[in-house]
Structure 1
Amino acid sequence: MSEERAGSQRTGPVETDFDHLDPAFAIVDDVHERLKVLRGRCPVAHTQADGGYFLAFRYPAIAEAARNASGAFSANVNIGAAPRVAPPLACIAPMFEVDGAEHRQWRKLLAHHFSQEAAATHEDHVRRLCRDAIARFVGDGQTDLVASYVRVIPPLVAAMVLGIPEQHRPALAEYLREFMTAATPDETARCSEAYTAFLSALLDDVEEESMIGTVARTSIGGVVPNPLQLTKFSALMLAAGHLTASDACAGVLLNLFERDRLRARVVAAEPGLLTAVINESVRQEPAVTVTGRAVVKETELGGVRLVPGDRVVLLWPSANRDESVFPDGSEFRVDREEPSAQQLAWGTGPHQCVGKHIARMEIRVMIEELLAAIPDVRLLPGARTRRTFGVIRGVPELPTIWSLP
């Protein structure tokens, strides 16, 4: 917690023991009820967990901090999703961890890699990846779709978008998988070191016109990124591209498996329906649960005064169920009247998800190809699925079966 200036008075926030990193929240089913109670008590609360930080629960406070019109918040902070999904490298990553004019310049420079047009050019390649993956298990009559499909495609696509040569993408995806699934601190450290070393070695083998090549030769703020910064940028981009698409896709599939009539309509390719299902799924369960912000100048958020050095966690699932914006936000409705642009599953403001168009395309194509190949795919009878809760909201397993010819 930051030190107060002598004689200053500070608005006392509501204290809570809620901690998004508490393992207990990874196994409970009522996390949204807990968030609803907290949202009803206050827009912004404080917890002593992890050295102390603030939590924003309501839509207006979360949107205000994310859009950062006041310039009071910075994305360069040691809390939230980013520090948990990439190796801990002691440098500032271009675009991800800078703000203001420098951040805007990076976004503008790289925007063409993430546009709707760029996503469309990648669609055929993504379909081929999906068909290759499906061919490996379609004859088995059963599989865990998360392990054999949902987590297979996105890291390959993210590596392609970055500019990693095709022959290295499967190995890179495996290093990434081992890092993301490490179960102990020692295993995490070992996998982090191996992943970082492999990724660093690849960066010398990219083409100049690739995304990494562009970042490597660009001076913004007067300095060209050094190799460590390139590695961190690439690791964050791979994590963002992999986790957002894979966990969101698993969530969409779970919604379809739990709603037979809706799945049948999607299998029948009802125009526009799958897009609506994806939009509603990510509204209700955003893949990225939290984003962190550092306070860099004194401000007020949700009636709570913040000073430089404070840290704030923005809880996107809480914003997307805020009753003032989504009166029936806990309900899954593909005919929702609120505009899809109003929900914050992809963030908002300067640091909103830069790859959202590619992620949406990936999710749509993965589901289209799966249901075209296996129309009667369904959850294994008796299977109990669950969702994780931490910096990422995912579905760790989808045990499924289908009929064989």
Structure 2
Amino acid sequence: MSVHPTSGPAVSSEPQPVDPLSPTVNPAELDALRSGCPVSRTERGWWYLARHDDVLAATEDIPGYRASFRDPGVVVPDEEQFINEIPEPRHGEIRRLINSAIATHRLTRVEPFCRELCGELLDAMRESGTANDLTPSYIEPIPNNVIARLLGAEPTDYPRWLAWSEELVRGTYPTQYRNERGAGLAGAHPEFTAYVDALIADRRAEPRDDFVTRLLDTVIEGRRLTDVEARTQLVFLFISGNETTRHLIGNLLYRLAADPGLFATLSADRSLIPAAVEESLRLDPPVRFLLRDCTEARAPRGVPIVTGDKVVFGIEPANRDPERFEAPTEFRLDRGPDSRRHLSFGGGPHVCPGALLARLEARVAVEELLTRATGMRLRDGHAFENVPTFWARGPQSVPVDISWR
């Protein structure tokens, strides 16, 4: 469903009463902002786009916007720019290499590993005979083990770089390129970079048939990546391969635990699981918003945005836009082709390269749970608590009681 209004609501260059970047903002407040002022200023002076059509158009506008979570004025050396920060055409060259690591033919080999892993984790939970918090026992290990397998790291090391990833994304490095320990990845997060540097050194000395070796061997724009460039992209993949997928799986399992009817429906018809994954992505996006720097003057809905302005793509309200989705606040399994028109993986040519992998992991996580459980419910008295990452949505914990088969 796509309806384009002939006249839009008001827009404003003044900060609105609702701060859409606040971790405590609720969906109703964002919906009111979308309908009342779809292009607005935040308290930080950044522009916020809240309509689906505006956000989609902006994600497709590569010349006009460049991804950056950095604070205005922060300059990052070329070697330490994450893939989403690198401009074209170099972005496309590195992206093609990353895509090769998670191409469809490789995912067919990952699924059996993911399924076996999920089974082992669930069997361990069942054997423990106690109520479980799904976050450490099931949700966290899945994406971390899968990305370790894809990148060639030791799966047993995942607790270490899980902790490093959380430290990085929840600290000041993503916005300021530094923290209290120093500047750059090596200065701000020396343990993480030392681990990745050791992987690189090992592959330099003894190449293997894995992603790290391919990353080091591939010629991009007439030259191979330096060790610092390779480290930067590997750190990005370690983070993105576990952080957002963990929130996707957590949000979906939280809904299953909170809604016995949904659990029963999916148990009766496993073919509906992919639709449940998409609805979870739409209503509970693991990434609440995307940050961009305006690189060419633009005027969405007639509002002048100039070069250098920070622009926020509001994924949350865009995913509930009634101009795009019928009954947008309802969790529905019958949306058909509309089910994938959410923007939780971004849009345009820079759509998240890990989308297929994230969907696979979430689907398998639910399938294996339904194979072993007849029911699941949230522990009495539990209330949703969001992770302490300002741009993310995901449950800090999912304490449940499970009825095993």
TM-score when normalising by structure 1: 0.84
Q: Does structure 2 conserve the Cα–Cα contact (< 8 Å) formed by 1:20 and 1:391?
A: no
Q: Are 1:142 and 2:158 an aligned pair?
A: no
Aligned-pair distance for 1:403? 4.4
Residues of 2 paired with 1:152 and 1:79: CA distance? 32
1:378 is matched with: 377
1:79–1:293 contact (8 Å) kept in structure 2: no
SS of aligned partner of 2:48: strand
Alignment match, 1:239: 239
Take 1:201 and 1:359, find their aligned partners in 2: how far apart are those partners? Answer: 27
TM-superposition CA deviations, 1:97-143 (whole Å, max 9, x none): 22332222223333232233322210111122222322332223211
Corresponding position: 1:176 with 2:168: no
Is the alpha carbon distance of 1:187 and 1:284 closer, same or farther for their aligned partners in structure 2, counting shifts above 3 Å?
A: farther
Measure the CA separation in 2 of the matches of 1:337 and 1:124. 27
| Alignment RMSD | 3.1
Describe how 1:243-392 pairs up with structure 2 within 5 A.
Answer: 243-268=243-268, 270-336=269-335, 339-388=338-387, 390-392=390-392
| Matching residue within 17, 21, 31 for 1:36 | 31
* 1:35–1:42 CA distance, 2 compared to 1 (3 A): same
Aligned counterpart, 1:67: 60
Which position in structure 1 is the counterpart of 2:396?
Answer: 396
Gaps of 5+ in 2: 1-10, 173-178
Residues 191/132 of structure 1: CA separation in 2 closer, same or farther (3 Å cut) = farther
In structure 2, the partner of 1:199 is: 196
Whose relative contact order is higher, 1 or 2, with alpha carbons under 8 Å and at least 6 apart? 1
Partner SS, residue 256 of structure 1: helix
Task: Spell out, residue by residue over 1:353-377, the C-alpha distance to the aligned partner (whole angstroms, 9 max, x if none).
Answer: 1011111111111122223223323
CA distance in 2, matches of 1:187, 1:41: 43
Say whether the 8 Å CA contact 2:275–2:333 is kept in structure 1. Answer: yes
Comparing 357-366 with 336-345, greater Cα deviation is found at 336-345
Residues 264-297 of structure 1, C-alpha deviations (whole Å, 9 max, x = no match)? 12223x1421111111111111111111111112
Question: Given the alignment, which residue of 110, 113, 138 partners 2:98?
Answer: 110
Amino acid at match of 2:165: L
Moved more, 11-20 or 338-347: 11-20
In structure 2, do the counterparts of structure 1 residues 89 and 149 end up closer, same or farther at CA, with 3 Å as the change threshold? farther
Give SS of 1:228's match. Answer: helix
Q: Quick check: 1:129 aligned with 2:117?
A: yes
**Higher mean C-alpha displacement, 127-136 vs 306-315:** 127-136
Aligned to 2:3: none
Deviation of 1:55 (Å): 1.0
Distance 1:331 1:92, change over 3 A: same
Shift in Å, 1:186: 6.0
1:158 is aligned to 2:153: no
- Cα separation, 2, equivalents of 1:320 and 1:245: 18
Name which of 34, 50, 56 aligns with 1:57.
50
Q: Distance in 2 between matches of 1:43 and 1:128?
A: 45
Say yes or no: does 1:45 pair with 2:40.
yes
Mapped partners of 1:188, 1:150: distance in 2: 32
**Which ranges in structure 1 are unaligned for 5 or more consecutive residues?**
1-10
Q: Separation in 2 of the partners of 1:272 and 1:165?
A: 34
Deviations 1:1-31 (A, max 9, x none): xxxxxxxxxx962422544554xx2xx4x61
- For residues 77 and 302 of structure 1, do their structure 2 counterparts lie closer, same or farther at Cα, with a shift above 3 Å needed? farther
Aligned residue for 2:192, secondary structure, equals helix
Aligned 8 A contact 1:66 1:349 in 2: yes
Distance of aligned partners of 1:37 and 1:166 in 2 relative to their CA distance in 1, 3 Å threshold: closer
Answer whether contact 1:93 1:230 (CA < 8 A) is retained.
no
* Count, aligned residues: 380
**Residue 260 to residue 168, structure 1, CA distance change in 2 (3 Å):** closer
Aligned identity (percent) is 26
* Cα distance change of structure 1 residues 79 and 395 upon mapping to structure 2, 3 Å threshold: farther
Contact 2:297 2:304 in 1 (8 A): yes
Select which of 60, 67, 88 maps to 1:100: 88
Partner of 1:225: 225
Q: Choose 380-389 or 118-127, whichever is displaced more.
A: 380-389
1:178–1:191 CA contact under 8 A, matched in 2? no
Q: CA 1:283–1:404 in structure 2 vs 1: closer, same or farther (change >3 Å)?
A: closer
CA-to-aligned-CA distance 1:161-186 (integer Å, 9 cap, x gap)? 22224564454345435656779x76
| SS of the residue 1:137 aligns to | helix
Q: By how many angstroms is 1:318 displaced?
A: 1.2
Task: Output the amino acid matched with 1:246.
Answer: R
Deviation at 1:308, TM superposition (A): 1.4
